[in-house]
Amino acid sequence: MEAHVPKQTATKWKLITAAFALQILGVMVVAPLLRLQLETFRSGLLILVAGTVFALYLSRAPRFLTNRAWPCWVPPLLYAGFIFSLSSQSFPGVELPTKADYFHPIEYGFLGFFLGWAWRTGRRGSMGPAWAALVLVSGILFGASDEWHQAFVPGRDPSMLDLCWDALGIVLGMAFYHMIEIRFRSQRPAAAPEQGPHQGMSVNACSHIVQYDAEAAMELPVQRPNRPGLADIEQAEGGKTEGERPEGNREADHGDQEPHQFVHHDLPRVTLAAMPCGQVRGRAGQEKQEPQQAVGPWRRKPG
């Protein structure tokens, strides 16, 4: 199953769908006010319907299609065709309730929005000065070409004032798209922090992680076999008392007995670590510690 378009991208395509649908509604409302038949706007309505269907499809299209640049240019091109279809008609005998100049910012405001979307998404760039310049220049160039085209339409004349109104509409549409893009950017989730080797483990699992500390050593007494004492030797020699034995034998007997000794063993100390996951760091293997030598009066001197 193909992955569908991301949520924010789908929302933008839905906004474009709503923009085309709003233009369709505007034509259906304005035509009766001007006492014009909808048949007069047939070509323009077909273009608007095509843009609505295309944008609605892209809001649910597979990801491999929405990741391409060319779909982003379809809405501004279609809407430019809609403006061209309107400027190709002279509308003789039509009396407008207001100045026709006011329609230019509305028409080119939608075009500025579509161009902002195309230059931002199609070229995958940032909304910096270069982006604003591309939107403004492309919109004004189209407006100039449309005014030049009206010089060949009966009942119409090119006007520099109309071009200024067109440029104002481009700026307004571009600013509206910039505002929407900033709003979407603020709603994006923050980047997940980099996970350590123990991220995602439960507390119970982390509590069983151990640290091997080889810095400290344990001193354990050494058990040696029991040696016969003085009383046992006297009993074995036939009941001689301590006074009957020579002094040298007593010193030798005491010299045979070794003092209680302790042997130093380098054993690792095991420590249970119940700290939060991701902060547990084992110390085993980081540094190679030299075994500590036992000290004390009971240590046997070599030789």
245 pLDDT more than 60:
no
Angle between helices 160-186 and 103-117 (to 10 degrees): 40
Distance, C-alpha 234 to centroid of its chain: 89
Residues 252 and 268 grouped into a single domain: no
Mean pLDDT of the chain: 73
249 shares its domain with 266: no
Tokens of 248: 């040298």
* Residue 71 to residues 26, 78, 123, 138, Cα–Cα distance (Å): 25, 11, 12, 18
Residue 196 lies in a domain: no
Query: pLDDT tens-digit profile of 110-128?
Result: 999 999 989 988 776 678 8
Closest CA to 147 of 161, 168, 134, 133: 161
Same domain, 122 and 163: yes
Q: Mean pLDDT across the stretch 205-210? A: 44
Average pLDDT over residues 292-298: 50
The pair of structure tokens assigned to 126 is 């940032």
Same domain, 26 and 144: yes
Kindly state the tokens that stand for 265: 């063993």
**Mean pLDDT within 244-271:** 49
Q: Are residues 15 and 126 in the same domain?
A: yes
CA distance 260 to 127: 84
pLDDT at 148 over 50: yes
Residues 19 and 142 in one domain: yes
Whether 270 has a pLDDT exceeding 70, the answer reads no
Question: What pLDDT does residue 153 have?
Answer: 87
Task: Answer for the pair 8, 188: CB distance below 8 angstroms, yes or no.
Answer: yes
Partners of 273 in beta bridges: 209
Rounded Cα distance between 26 and 86, Å, is 13
Domain-located, residue 191: no
- Which helix (H) or strand (E) segment holds residue 221: the answer is strand 218-221
Measured between alpha carbons, how far is 135 from 117 in angstroms, rounded to an integer? 9
Q: Is residue 193 part of a domain?
A: no
Average pLDDT over residues 97-116: 86
Number of domains into which the chain is organized: 3
Which of 267, 274, 263, 293 shows the shortest CA–CA distance to 212?
A: 267
For CA atoms 14, 15, 16, 19, the dihedral sign is positive
The pLDDT tens digits for 167-192 are 999 999 999 999 998 888 777 655 44
Q: Does any domain span residue 16?
A: yes
**Residue 269: strand pairing partners:** 213
* Residue 240, domain extent: 232-259
Domain identity same for 254 and 145:
no
User: Is the pLDDT at 102 greater than 90, yes or no?
Assistant: no
Residues 137 and 238 in one domain: no
Place 8 in a pLDDT band, splitting at 50, 70 and 90. Answer: confident
pLDDT at 133: 94
